[in-house]
Amino acid sequence: MFDREAHEKRTCWYRQARFGMFIHWGLYAIPARGEWVRSDEKMPEEEYLPFFGEFDPVNFDARRWARAARKAGMKYMVFTAKHHDGFCLFDSALTDFKSTNTPCGRDIVREVLDAFRAEGLRVGLYYSLLDWHYPDYPHYGDRYHPLRDDSRERDIPRDFDRYLDYMHGQVRELCTNYGKLDILWFDFSYKGDGQDMTGETWRAAELVHMVRSLQPEVILDNRLEVSGEGFGSLATAVPSDYCGDFVSPEQIIPPQGLRDEEGRELLWEACVTMNDHWGYCSSDKNYKSAATLIRRLVECVSKNGNLLLNVGPDARGNIPAEAMDILSQIGSWMGANGESIWGCGGSGLPKPENGRITRRGDVLYYHILEDALGCIPLYGIPKDKVKSVRLLADGSERKLQADWITGNYPDMAFVKISAAAGLPDETDTVLKICLES
C-alpha cells in the first residue's frame, strides 16, 4: 500500500534541492563511444573484456568532481554503481567484474559517496536492472542484449531467477555497506518482442521492501515499472508498492509539468545530457550552452520539477573540459540567483510572455528572458499586491513605473531594469518580488 504521508516526508529535501548531478562512468569510457557501445555495436564479451584489464583512471579524484558540483549550485548527485554492461564500480562480493579487480584497484563508489557527502551534497546511486555480463541474464531475443541476434545463443539455458538473486543481492550490498543513501535510481523496465521486463519480472515488490527496510528514508525513481518515456502507477489513483517516489522523464521537460489522475502535483526530475551521450564519447562535441541549461533549470523549477544534469568522465577520470566550463558558468549564475531555484516551485500564475516565474511563499522570482523597449512588463503580477521589487543579483531596488508611457495599462506592473540597453544578465535577469501577505 502506497503511504502518501511517508512519501511526502522522505521527499521534502528533494523538493527543495531542485538541481543535481548525474555521473555516468565505467569501462565504456575507454572505447569512448557512449555507454550503449556494446548494445549498439552488438559487441561480444571477448571484445569488451580487454577494457576491464585497462581500467586505470590515473586522474580520478572524486573530491574534484564533488567541488565542481557544489560550485555549480547542485544539491545532490546520482552515480552509476553498475550500468547495463554489468561492470561494478563498487566492491561487490558477488562478482569479480568490479573496479577493485582492475588495475585501478579502488572502490570507486565509496570514494565518490565520501567526497560528495564531504561537500554537503545528498548522494544517490544508479543501478541498472539490465546486465549484459551476467550469464543468466537473457541473451538471444532480448531487446537490448549485444547478442540478441546471435543464433548460437538460442538454445543456451539461462536461469533468470539466479540473475534476480544476484541483482537483489547487489542492491542489498549497496544499501548495507555504503552508509545512508538519499536516492536509489533504478534503470529500467521495458516491453516488446514477446518480453515483459517490468514490475514483478524484477520481483519488484520484494526488492523495494528490502530497500525500504535497509534505507527507510531513501527515495526511488519510477523505473521498476517503466523506462524514461513512462509515468508508471505513481501517476494513477492507486500506485503500486514499487511505483517509486518520482517520475523520471529523459531528455525532455514536460510541457505542462505533471499531475496524477486525481490532480495532485507529481514529483518529477528531468534527466538531461550536456551533449548527446550519457557516457563519455570523444567525438561528441555537441554541448548545450550554459545559458540554455540555466534556462532549462528555471523551466523545470517553474513547473515544480528538478533537473538532473549529466557529466560523463573520460577514461582517465576527468570530467571533460567543456563540461567543467559549463558547470563553472552555471555556478556563476547560481551564485547570484540560486535563491530563485533552491526551495522554489511553480508560481501558480500563467507563464509570462517574456520569461518564467518561480515562487517561495509570498516571494515571486520573475525570470526575465526577453528584453523590452523601455520598461519591462511584469505579466500576471497583481500590481496592488507588490510590496517590493529587487534585482536579485545585487539586491538593488527597482520601483514600479507609473508615468504617461505606462498609463494606458493601469492594471499592469512595469519596472525599469537599467538605463543601459539590454538586460543586466542576458541569460536570465531575475527580479525578487515580495508580495503583501
Pairing of strands 345-346, 413-415: unpaired
From edge to edge, which strands make up the β-sheet containing 219-220? 219-220, 183-187, 122-128, 76-82, 19-23, 305-311, 268-272
Per-residue pLDDT of 240-268, as tens digits, reads 999 999 999 999 999 999 999 999 999 99
Report the pLDDT averaged over residues 115-119.
Answer: 99
Residue with cell 555556478: 331
pLDDT on residue 193: 80
pLDDT on residue 279: 98
pLDDT on residue 419: 79
Q: Which domains does the chain have, with CATH numbers?
A: 4-343 (3.20.20.80), 355-435 (2.60.40)
Report the pLDDT averaged over residues 89-102.
Answer: 98
Per-residue pLDDT of 46-55, as tens digits, reads 999 999 999 9
**Lowest-confidence segment of 62-76, 274-288, 393-407 by average pLDDT:** 393-407
Q: Is the pLDDT of residue 418 over 90?
A: no
pLDDT on residue 336: 98
3-state SS, one letter per residue, for 167-193: HHHHHHHHHHHCCCCCEEEEECCEEEC
pLDDT on residue 393: 98
3-state SS, one letter per residue, for 310-368: EECCCCCCCCCHHHHHHHHHHHHHHHHHHHHCCCCEECCCCCCCCEEEEEECCEEEEEE
User: Cα–Cα–Cα angle for 166, 194, 208, nearest 5°?
Assistant: 35
Report the pLDDT averaged over residues 375-379.
Answer: 96
* pTM of the complete model: 0.98
Q: Compute the CA torsion angle 209, 237, 265, 20 (nearest 10 deg).
A: 30
pLDDT on residue 196: 96
Name the grid cell of 302. Answer: 517553474
pLDDT on residue 420: 80
Helix axes 290-302, 321-337, angle to 10 degrees: 50
246 upstream amide cis, omega within 30 of 0:
no
pLDDT on residue 351: 97
Q: Is 409 exposed, middle or buried (0-12, 13-18, 19+ CB in 10 A)?
A: exposed
Per-residue pLDDT of 182-234, as tens digits, reads 999 999 999 988 899 999 999 999 999 999 999 999 999 999 999 998 999 99
